[in-house]
Amino acid sequence: MGFPKIVVFTGAGISAESGLGTFRGNMGLWEKYDISEVASADAWHKDKEKVLDFYNMRRRQLEEVEPNQAHYALSRLGNYYDVTVITQNVDDLHEQAGTSNVVHLHGELKMACSSYDKSHFKNIGTEDIKLGDLAEDGSQLRPYIVWFGESVPMMQKAYEIVEQADHFIVIGTSLMVYPAASLIFAVPDNAAKYYIDPSDIDASLSDWNHIKESATSGTPKLVEELIKQSNVDN
């Protein structure tokens, strides 16, 4: 039979509680930046150095943060369920906490890739990418990030994972960024659905279990409840 499948969909809110700045929100570290000037293909062609500096700064910030209680709780859940995390975040805090099945929809900060072909990528850790740093195909290395206006290559895989979910948990995302937010429409009707976020829930999600708490508060509580359920079922 195997373990029941839990799919967790995370956004910037879970990373923000580890101290990582977000694009959105009044406390967003990056609010002084025009997103169109650092997170689009047009921005890259216009000013590569500015884009590289921005992502180098974000990459260096990863050295200053650690997974929080929400990340560790989800990792623990993997001992009782078949857990896959689908994240909009480009940090590796889920992996640092011990979660092995992580799908990054929008790329990964610790990766660099060819400007010509993003399938040519490599792990650079928290090192800077400089002008003149070249990929194997001779092109300028760029951040391995899905910028606004670019296709999201992992979407099909994500849909297929969500369609198999017995439980679906949303943590720390406003569900405003598409196509990622469309994953909620692939959740099976009979799956248990949870939304962990301190903000009010959208009327269209009124049948979801809304845990109106922060990620670090609500996630451990839900995980404990799900672990209890798994023990009863077994």
Catalytic residues: 106
Rg (CA), the chain: 18
> Cis link prior to 220 (omega < 30° from 0)?
no
Q: Are 123 and 129 in contact (CB under 8 A)?
A: no
- Give me the phi and psi of 131, to 5 degrees please: -60, 130
> Which tokens is 180 given?
């990622």
In whole angstroms, what is the distance from residue 93 CA to residue 159 CA? Answer: 23
- Secondary structure of residue 123 in the 3-state scheme: strand
In whole angstroms, what is the distance from residue 175 CA to residue 184 CA? Answer: 9
- Sheet (strand 107-114) strand order: 121-123, 107-114, 141-145
In whole angstroms, what is the distance from residue 212 CA to residue 202 CA? Answer: 12
Q: Helices 69-77 and 215-233 meet at what angle, rounded to 10?
A: 20
